[in-house]
A = this chain, B = another copy of it.
Amino acid sequence: MATLKDVARRSGLTVGTVSRVLNNRGYISEQTRQRVYDVMKELDYQPNEMARSLSKKRSNTIGVIVPHVVHPYFAKLIGSLEQAAYDRKYKILLFNSQGKDEKEEEYIEMCKSNRVAGVILCSDTFQTDKFRNLRFPLITIERFLDEGTAGIECDNYRGGVLAAEHLIAKGCTSLLHIGGIRNHRKPADERKEGFEDVCKREHIKYASVESSQFIYDEMDYYSSIDRMLDEYPGTDGVFASSDVIAAQVLQVCARRGLRVPEQMKVIGYDDVNVASLTTPDITTIRQPVKEMAETAIAMIDRVAGGEMVPSRSLFPVTLVERGST
């Protein structure tokens, strides 16, 4: 394997000069730069990122911790984070916590010992004491964390408002909100508040129910949706707090012989690909995932540069109208 010294020897330059070319530091003539690149190619020299990171005390990798890669929302988020990281010359170390505390603890240790430039956390069973004494910025997406550097969220309250107003405008008179998870306080809980505030203001009958962590992990909401529709039989509009839940509401309605949107209107949240792939396709509240991801990655850069970043950033949401309403 060719070394930096071999490149210097062959190009007739000092190791210091070759190193300056590689690190893009100081003045180097275009001719010298080209000579170094030619020799690197000739010798098949690979700069050793690990050695470079070691001297910099931090690597150019960013740890991303999500609870479920396979969930369409996190798949979309990871795709956007990878693109934003690539644009800023970072690489993504991906960790899938599956909601397990011991895995998350281990992941944070791995991030520490790999000297990551930062961590983006989208998981939610974290205990806060694991986050003391971190030497890198910690950015959360759609999560609260007291010890975090910054939190990025969509405007969940506004999302709930838009959903309720849309269902009411479409003529619904008895609304049901199906929430995500009961046990952890999350920004997404504000969707319910926005929804309920509109129902109260407009004097519309409503109910809100939440599902358990187990159901979230398995993405299996069928039996709880069935129970909810039994409990609130007059329901003619459902606001589901994810498109995955909304898709399952459509399936339960089909089984019960309820026509969507004629007898039951359904609105989801997120705007992931599932929302476009069902029959009918799903009206939803769109999170600007791409912009949220870009901001998260940019913040790691800004914190590293000594800048102050907002501790909480809220992104606007939009209503995307489709066949289910």
Contact = CB atoms under 8 A, between A and B. Distances in A.
A59 B70 contact: no
B72 A72 contact: yes
Copies of this chain, whole number: 2
Contacts of A219: 273
Contacts of A114: 49-50, 91
Nearest to A251: B279
A61 B247 contact: no
A280 interface: yes
A133 interface: yes
A250 B279 contact: yes
Contact of A273 (B72, B82, B91, B133): B72
Interface residues on A, range: 35 or more
18 contacts: A48-B115, A49-B110, A69-B78, A72-B72, A78-B78, A78-B94, A83-B96, A83-B98, A86-B103, A92-B94, A92-B95, A94-B94, A247-B277, A251-B277, A251-B278, A254-B279, A274-B274, A278-B278
Interface in A38-88: 44, 46-51, 53-54, 59, 61, 64, 68-70, 72, 74-76, 78-79, 82-83, 86
